[in-house]
Amino acid sequence: MLKGRKAVVTGCARGIGLSIAMALAKHGADLAIIDVAATDGAKEEEALNAIQSFGTNVKYYACDVSDFETAKEICQAIASDFGGVDILINNAGITRDNLLLRMSEDDFDKVLDVNLKGAFNFSKHLARTIIKSPFGRIINISSVSGIAGNPGQVNYSASKAGLIGMTKTMAKELASRSVTCNVIAPGFIETDMTAVLPEGIAENLKASIPLKRLGQPEDVAALAAFLASDYAAYITGEVIKVDGGMCI
């Protein structure tokens, strides 16, 4: 489905990002995977090995996506190494949860810098390359918190809501060049972020979801692969929830 396509996925060392990268590789895409450099690099090496198992060309780049100039250098290297880019998936994200009255300025700024500015940085620096592709795709991973809000996540919700507005604008700006831009808004997905939830809270969450379960990273990855494919060529500017019906 994606044979010969060249994709960039940020936040790839684990969770949703890793599942998305594996889904794209499974369908034949070559991958540039981005993650912040870890202390020992074990997660990055493990992710690289898992993605390479599908036999496509995969290369890892260490990058703090919130750093404008570093992101520019990495994007230039990717375009050179791969001879172009067709697909960009902005997945990198962090949380620094707290109630509004207790949230520090640093925690607010850091989440916006990574989650929102990081997506801007990679979209801006790769846009000229992507518009040269006959099947350009930009997919931003938001959250249902950016649609409905969530107590204790004023920073995270703001960053994910910002991604939605940014994506809709990019969709209008890039449509004349046949580049589609869409948003995936996951609900509660079983990742490292949700693994720290107390058992009682996790059970209450499941009870509030019509499908009565938390989602899997593969649920999000399947939609990302579809939106990156030719099957979604006439879909742009959309926000698609993957939340088991939580925000119906």
Catalytic sites, residue numbers: 156
Residue type, 108: F
- 180 pairs with which residues across the strands? 137
Cβ 8 vs Cβ 32: under 8 Å: yes
C-alpha–C-alpha distance, residues 30 and 28, integer Å: 7
Backbone angles phi, psi at 150, to 5 degrees: -155, 125
Cβ 221 vs Cβ 9: under 8 Å: no
C-alpha–C-alpha distance, residues 10 and 3, integer Å: 20
How would you class 118 by CB atoms within 10 Å of its CB: exposed for 0-12, middle for 13-18, buried for 19 or more? buried
Reported as type and span, the H/E element at residue 200 is: helix 199-208
Q: What is the DSSP string of 7-23?
A: EEEES-SSHHHHHHHHH
